[in-house]
Each structure stands twice: as C-alpha cells, then as structure tokens.
Amino acid sequence: MNRRKILSGAQLKYIAFTSMLIDHVNKALIYPNLNGGILLVISDIFDVLGRIAFPIFMFLLIEGYFRTTNRWKYLGIEKG
C-alpha cells in the first residue's frame, strides 16, 4: 500500500493551536460583550472553529502512544 502524507504532525499541531487560540479569544473577549447582531454570528463561527482542536490533539496523543518505544514512560508511569 502506498501511503501519502498530507499533513505532518507539526502542521496538525499548528492547526490545533490556532483553533484553540480562536476558541479562547472567543470565550475571553467576545462572549462577555455579546448583544446580538454580528458579534453573535462571529461567536458562533469561532465556536465551531475552536472545537476542532480537541480531536486533533487526541489523535496526536494516541499516535504518539503507538509510535513510542517506551509506553510506560510516555504515560508518565515509572516502572520499577
């Protein structure tokens, strides 16, 4: 099977980071000032964009778990 790499892990992290930043800006700056109109539409769009961060970070976390050489250390558990 021929695998094609579309996005690297670093690119996925940047997308997730930007998405999370958009979500936090929405919650910190736009939510407190909602009074309807265009701010409500922008807030809804930012909510949708911000929600893609979690699945991307979980994908990267699980991918890292299966690719690591020491799974116990990856989980933060010292086996002794």
Task: Read off the pLDDT band of 80 (50, 70, 90).
Answer: low
What is the average per-residue pLDDT within 52-72? 93
pLDDT digits 0-9 by tens, 2-53: 778 799 989 999 999 999 999 999 999 988 888 888 889 999 999 999 999 9
Local structure of 4: helix, strand or coil: coil
Rounded Cα distance, 27 and 46, in Å: 9
C-alpha to C-alpha distances, 71 to 54, 62, 76, nearest whole angstrom: 22, 11, 9
Task: Read off the pLDDT band of 74 (50, 70, 90).
Answer: confident
pTM reported for the whole predicted model = 0.79
